[in-house]
Amino acid sequence: MATAEAHRSAGIGKDLAVYLCLLVLAGLQFVIARQNIDASQMLWRMLAVAIVEAGLAVRFFMHLGTEKRGFALFVVIFTVFVLLAMQYGWTDSSRMVIGAPFSK
């Protein structure tokens, strides 16, 4: 945990700044929710904000940025790959709503 040590001794200022950023971003999601836009646009905007929030939390609160580079890459690449692989079923979900039959 030696590499994370320098980061931790940097003072509380950075943690507070990240916390305030997260609060603002969380607030932004609530603002987006009140906008008069269609659900898919709202979803993409909120997801974008959530991904930025998650990035900040992982980088600064969970200190992944100060871990060994190989480990950080392992976590990010593995996780993102599986998350993307989970998205394969959306076309079937849309098929359900338009009532199209299964292909023969």
> Which residues, 6+ apart, have CB-to-CB distance to 28 below 8 Å?
49
Report in angstroms how near the CB of residue 70 gets to other proteins at its nearest.
Answer: 6
What is the C-alpha to C-alpha distance for residues 25 and 59, in angstroms, rounded to an integer? Answer: 16
Report in angstroms how near the CB of residue 104 gets to other proteins at its nearest.
Answer: 21
Report in angstroms how near the CB of residue 4 gets to other proteins at its nearest.
Answer: 8
What is the C-alpha to C-alpha distance for residues 23 and 32, in angstroms, rounded to an integer? Answer: 14
For other proteins, the binding residues (CB under 8 A) are: 1, 5, 8-9, 12, 15-16, 19, 22-23, 26, 29-30, 32-34, 36, 39, 42-43, 46-47, 49-50, 53-54, 57-58, 61-62, 67-68, 70-71, 74-75, 78-79, 82-83, 86-87, 89-90, 92-97
Q: Please provide the size of the chain in residues.
A: 104
Report in angstroms how near the CB of residue 101 gets to other proteins at its nearest.
Answer: 14
> Which residues, 6+ apart, have CB-to-CB distance to 56 below 8 Å?
18, 21, 22, 25
